[in-house]
Structure 1
Amino acid sequence: MRDNLSAYSQADTEETSTELECFPYSVQHQDEGVCLLVRMGPHRILLDCGLADISSLQKNVSPSSKLPADLVLVSHAHPDHARGLLSLHQVFPSLPICASEVTSKLLPLNWLEQEKIPQFCQALPLRSPIELQKGLVVELFPAGHLPGAVAILLTYTTAQRVYKVLYTGDFFLSNSRLVEGLRLEELRGSDVNVLIVEGTYGTSRHPHRRHQENQLAERINRAIADGNSVLLPTPALGLGQELLMLLRSHHHFTGRDLDIWVDGAVARGCDAYLELLPYLPPSVQNFARHQPLFWDERVRPRVRRLQTEHRNQIGKSPCIILTDITADLSQYCRAETGHWLILLPEKIDVSVRKKYAAPTTIESYLLAQHSDGPGTTQLIHNLRPQHVVFVHGSAAYLADLTSLEELQNRYHLHSPLAGTTVELPIGDTFLQPAAPEANYQGEVTELDTVINISLPDTITGDPRWRQFADTGLIEARWQGEELVLRGLTPRELLNQNSDRYIIPDVDCCGTCRHQRGQRCWNPASPLYNFRVTLEGYCPAFEENQ
């Protein structure tokens, strides 16, 4: 177990207490999802169940109750937090499973292949402390990220003291199109002892949410203007509906003669959102009073469900398609359907081919659904817990968080491996072990025409090195006073060297001296800091000598 324990800023004179433990069945989000067992005194609470295989839970049952936990609390309805719940209910039908009311309504979308899903999830109200077992109180707070997503506050009271554990699930401090962000003021001053928090983005810093939306809208707008169609593979819940609201309300698309087609489970997700309209933010409800939230053939751009009879229309004119991340994209990128721009969301695995029957350009975009590094540390500093347990993220990103000096000096930090118990004693003082190596000393050598940056070979021991150095090419950019290096991926190189041939004597972005990494770096250009197509052009063009 990677367990980084820091000295608590104020030594506690109370007796050491081991009333709190956390046993992670799984802490990742790409393969198995998240599933944590928290013990608070005699109570065993299972937080989420994103396991595809629940056999590990079946092996760990209590001899007295014959159950793997006393109850299950679900943070939200995404598969990496909920996919194992149906199997868990089928094997242990007497095990109580609780979530917010909205989450209880969205959960069945995880098992669309099954005809009838039993109503196994008990709905709990928001912001209302409820004693589920003697001495154990649970309270749910909206966490942003997805409708119904909650942060779960557990309070266990003994004759000696009160213990509090907060589990964020996936959280987002910023407001998005369809969900209001987590409100720090609701949790501030709650005297939390243990915070179990996601670390999806590690210490990464993101642009403002509106800036991310504008960049994405601008890229889609240019693709449509160039006569291309746009394909957006997304999860069934969350991102797909956010994209639809962005496309319906952004000034680039309002009133535009354009078809937006929605296919597969994403369309089912839209139907589910429509049934939950009273739970969505007031601005969304107000929008829905004047025009349909999703399905609308009257107001441009038109949003329609993609039916079998519509498929022959695809490609006759530029359009936008939202479909499942698991869909075979070749059913859309067919011969004689024109050029396609396939936009892939960062941090979500989507299977794509190198070649399709139609010419394609494949790019990625950021429209964050989780808080970035500064948002995570902001939450921690507002709650000031004694212990912080990082889950839900790659091992490297979680190690980045546990290496932050601003956190090490104030909190006990844990980044546990699956299958290892984390004891969370309250009132004990820990010694600070050596922090893992996160910085590398190097040298810069200026030559006549190039600059060499030399780093020690110890950097290759980090699992991220192979991806960084995969192509042997890097991109550098300034971030304040710091120079940030980023490895170029094979996908980016394939995209830049695709079947679009750029003639050297044509004035376009591909031959402009300010275009690097398919992004414009000319402050005088209206495309500055935006990704550009190589055949694009703007008045600030300067020939690449």
Structure 2
Amino acid sequence: MSQAPAASSHGYDDLAYLPYGVGHSDEGVCLLVRLGPYRVLLDCGLADISPLLKAGNPPVDLVLCSHAHSDHARGLLALRQAFPQLPIYASEVTTQLLPLNWPEVDTKDIPQLCQALPMRSPVEFQTGLAAELFPAGHLPGAAAILLTYTAPQRTYSLLYTGDFFLSNSRLVEGLPLEALRGLEPDVLIVEGSYGTARHPHRRNQENNLAERINQAIAGAKSVLMPVPTLGLGQELLMLLRSHHLFTGQNLDIWVDGNVAAGCDAYLELLSSLPSSVQNFARHQSLFWDERVRPRVRRLASEQRSSIGKSPCIVLTDESHDLREYCQPGTGPWVLLQPQQRRNMAMPYPYSLTTGGEALIAQDYLLAQHSDGLGTTQLIHNLRPQHVIFVHGSPTYLADLTGLEELHNRYHLHSPGAGTLVELAIGETFVQPAAPETSYEGELSELGAVVTITLPEAIALDPRFTNFSDTGLVEARWQGEELVLRGLSQRELLSQSSDAKVPLSIECCGNCLHQRGQRCWNQDSPLYGFKVTPEGYCPVFETAHPTATPSDTDLESLEE
């Protein structure tokens, strides 16, 4: 493990980064950053904090925790016990959720485990060093952390997203991108949990999962869903309680272990949840309800072996031994596990083979993080000098650092644990040009017609006038992507002229690969060049396979 980055020998005007854990598999996230003379620890998700204890003294000036998930926070208690005077900060909601990481410990015996910071209000810790928290989505209380250090020469800034989600979920509003747009920090540390993957719309994910659960119940199967203490389990309960497929259904939903404690913690934070959730809670209980169907109940340990004789849904701790539920005479069972657990190579610590009924394991997607499009969207809106990717499999992070749209514009880093990165900041750094705007539309098939609908905003681009000149478009495949191109008046006139070429002649005017007066056959020596209708090459392929010589063709040949 590399030593913590020391202050610069040529002055306190530089930035450096040393990760103790970057979130590969289940190692946890723990990042040390240096801003001038100060050292700040961002999260402490290490199961073993011994690398932080080697110095003997506090390794940092302060600690900032982004949110209460264990892979970002489980080392904080040991860190507090080792260094009682070390300041640890988080949002107010996070400070209330953190104790759920240590259910076996009475944290009341530890004074001020974590001090609360307000959202969207800068706080200065020491001379020149300040931080501001922004809602990050993902989990109640989760925060993106903006650190600033004001040196005599200039102000340096670093933004750490923690885990973030741009989309609204059932219990948390998404990260407000407009609040961060144009921030232009020197350094952005951003998670890459899903790499470059593109996800369906959040509502589509919910509907797909609800349909799969409903099919299992209709097929007389019980559903077992291991989830973390906080976040996904509570989202699933809200989905099951409010989705039309389950409303009024005579069904029991059992909640076991620490997931139930997480539900209780959410109820204590009701005033911090979105207004739609607060409105829901005015009419019925948010989680526990044995009157309104489907019923949501706590599961006692002695009940584990007896449930499942009739179809039900069980939410339990992801670390729990699932064989306790799948007993003879119960089931059959369908195990639904989050897709991300498989992607992060986090297998369950035991065999899923049981002595009871069959356990059918399936993956599902209910994203809690932004996908590749959301990640690049955030980066382009912030426009930093340096981008550091953390929290994801090495393959996924490598996919992000390999994106041409990113490495052409920013300095990209994805170092493993223990790798020190000096972050040189250019005084005259030229911000890259904003990337091309993309538009998200819908596709529908109606009989023999395929319709592509795009938002009205696309017409505001000055290029749209040329694109829509004739109202006609050409579509062609480019690999797996479908590319649309507007046809101009000149091309239409040219195509009319090209029609005079006899269909039976092997020439560019009749070639399958001639589009827009250019050759698009990569095997042709004319590839990419503008061609005349009468042109010819040895790899000609006819665009008119049914054409046969006619009298007109013969006359043209004679001419």
State the 1:393 CA deviation. Answer: 1.2
| Distance (whole Å) between structure 2 residues aligned to residue 148 and residue 21 of structure 1 | 27
**Structure 1 pair 386–301 and aligned structure 2 pair: CA distance change class (3 A):** same
| Distance (whole Å) between structure 2 residues aligned to residue 481 and residue 263 of structure 1 | 50
Q: Which amino acid aligns with 1:101?
A: E
State the 1:316 CA deviation. Answer: 2.8
Q: Does 1:405 align with 2:404?
A: yes
Q: Is residue 18–residue 423 contact of structure 1 (8 Å, CA) maintained in 2?
A: no
2:266 to 269, 273, 282: 273
Q: Segments of 4+ in structure 1 off by > 6 A?
A: none
* Residue 327 (structure 1) aligns with: 320
**Structure 1 pair 292–350 and aligned structure 2 pair: CA distance change class (3 A):** farther
1:88 to 74, 79, 85: 79
Q: Does 1:69 align with 2:64?
A: no
| Distance (whole Å) between structure 2 residues aligned to residue 189 and residue 60 of structure 1 | 39
Q: Which amino acid aligns with 1:153?
A: L
Matches within 5 A, 1:420-459: 420-427=419-426
Secondary structure of the residue aligned to 2:329 is coil
* Residue 216 (structure 1) aligns with: 209
Q: Is residue 127–residue 139 contact of structure 1 (8 Å, CA) maintained in 2?
A: yes
Deviations 1:429-482 (A, max 9, x none): 99xxxxxxxxxxxxxxxxxxxxxxxxxxxxxxxxxxxxxxxxxxxxxxxxx865
Q: Is residue 280–residue 286 contact of structure 2 (8 Å, CA) maintained in 1?
A: yes
Q: Is residue 25–residue 56 contact of structure 1 (8 Å, CA) maintained in 2?
A: yes
Matches within 5 A, 1:165-244: 165-244=158-237
What is the total number of aligned residue pairs between the two structures? 418
Gap runs ≥5 in structure 2: 2-9, 430-476, 482-559
Q: Which amino acid aligns with 1:425?
A: A
**Structure 1 pair 255–388 and aligned structure 2 pair: CA distance change class (3 A):** same
| Distance (whole Å) between structure 1 residues aligned to residue 247 and residue 194 of structure 2 | 32
State the 1:55 CA deviation. Answer: 0.9
| Distance (whole Å) between structure 1 residues aligned to residue 236 and residue 95 of structure 2 | 23
Q: Is residue 262–residue 304 contact of structure 1 (8 Å, CA) maintained in 2?
A: yes
* Residue 366 (structure 1) aligns with: 365
Secondary structure of the residue aligned to 1:406 is helix
Deviations 1:257-298 (A, max 9, x none): 100000001101101111111100100011000000000001
**Structure 1 pair 159–421 and aligned structure 2 pair: CA distance change class (3 A):** same
Q: Which amino acid aligns with 1:137?
A: A
Matches within 5 A, 1:146-165: 146-165=139-158
* Residue 36 (structure 1) aligns with: 31
| Distance (whole Å) between structure 1 residues aligned to residue 105 and residue 48 of structure 2 | 17
State the 1:418 CA deviation. Answer: 1.3
State the 1:428 CA deviation. Answer: 6.6
Deviations 1:326-385 (A, max 9, x none): 111111111111311110111223526342211221111011111111110000000000
Q: Does 1:110 align with 2:110?
A: no
Q: Which amino acid aligns with 1:109?
A: L
**Structure 1 pair 312–31 and aligned structure 2 pair: CA distance change class (3 A):** closer
* Residue 243 (structure 2) aligns with: 250
| Distance (whole Å) between structure 2 residues aligned to residue 214 and residue 122 of structure 1 | 39
State the 1:31 CA deviation. Answer: 2.9
Q: Is residue 229–residue 258 contact of structure 2 (8 Å, CA) maintained in 1?
A: yes
User: Identical aligned pairs, as a percentage?
Assistant: 70
* Residue 127 (structure 2) aligns with: 134
Secondary structure of the residue aligned to 1:347 is helix
| Distance (whole Å) between structure 1 residues aligned to residue 58 and residue 304 of structure 2 | 49
State the 1:115 CA deviation. Answer: 3.2
* Residue 297 (structure 1) aligns with: 290
| Distance (whole Å) between structure 2 residues aligned to residue 344 and residue 381 of structure 1 | 33
Matches within 5 A, 1:281-292: 281-292=274-285
State the 1:132 CA deviation. Answer: 1.1
| Bigger radius of gyration among the two | 2
**Structure 1 pair 49–251 and aligned structure 2 pair: CA distance change class (3 A):** same
Matches within 5 A, 1:465-480: none
Deviations 1:373-407 (A, max 9, x none): 11100000000001101111111111111111101
State the 1:425 CA deviation. Answer: 1.2
**Structure 1 pair 210–16 and aligned structure 2 pair: CA distance change class (3 A):** farther
| Distance (whole Å) between structure 1 residues aligned to residue 402 and residue 12 of structure 2 | 26
| Distance (whole Å) between structure 1 residues aligned to residue 11 and residue 379 of structure 2 | 23
Q: Does 1:347 align with 2:347?
A: no
Higher relative contact order (CA 8 A, sep 6+): 1
State the 1:313 CA deviation. Answer: 4.9
* Residue 390 (structure 2) aligns with: 391
| Distance (whole Å) between structure 2 residues aligned to residue 362 and residue 429 of structure 1 | 55
Deviations 1:171-225 (A, max 9, x none): 0001111000001101112231110001111111111111111110000000001
| Distance (whole Å) between structure 1 residues aligned to residue 410 and residue 295 of structure 2 | 52
| Distance (whole Å) between structure 2 residues aligned to residue 36 and residue 223 of structure 1 | 42
1:22 to 3, 17, 21: 17
Secondary structure of the residue aligned to 1:107 is helix
**Structure 1 pair 182–36 and aligned structure 2 pair: CA distance change class (3 A):** same
Q: Is residue 18–residue 425 contact of structure 1 (8 Å, CA) maintained in 2?
A: no
Q: Is residue 18–residue 33 contact of structure 2 (8 Å, CA) maintained in 1?
A: yes
**Structure 1 pair 350–327 and aligned structure 2 pair: CA distance change class (3 A):** farther
Larger deviation, residues 74-83 vs 414-423? 414-423
Q: Which amino acid aligns with 2:390?
A: V
Q: Is residue 44–residue 69 contact of structure 1 (8 Å, CA) maintained in 2?
A: yes
2:136 to 133, 137, 143: 143
Q: Is residue 326–residue 350 contact of structure 1 (8 Å, CA) maintained in 2?
A: no
Q: Is residue 195–residue 371 contact of structure 2 (8 Å, CA) maintained in 1?
A: yes
Q: Which amino acid aligns with 1:416?
A: P
| Distance (whole Å) between structure 2 residues aligned to residue 311 and residue 58 of structure 1 | 41
* Residue 100 (structure 1) aligns with: 91
| Distance (whole Å) between structure 1 residues aligned to residue 100 and residue 86 of structure 2 | 21
Larger deviation, residues 113-122 vs 49-58? 113-122
Larger deviation, residues 285-294 vs 116-125? 116-125
**Structure 1 pair 308–324 and aligned structure 2 pair: CA distance change class (3 A):** closer
Q: Which amino acid aligns with 2:84?
A: P
Q: Structure 2 length normalisation: TM-score?
A: 0.72
Q: Is residue 17–residue 423 contact of structure 2 (8 Å, CA) maintained in 1?
A: yes
Q: Is residue 62–residue 87 contact of structure 2 (8 Å, CA) maintained in 1?
A: yes
| Distance (whole Å) between structure 2 residues aligned to residue 482 and residue 368 of structure 1 | 27
| Distance (whole Å) between structure 1 residues aligned to residue 304 and residue 319 of structure 2 | 18
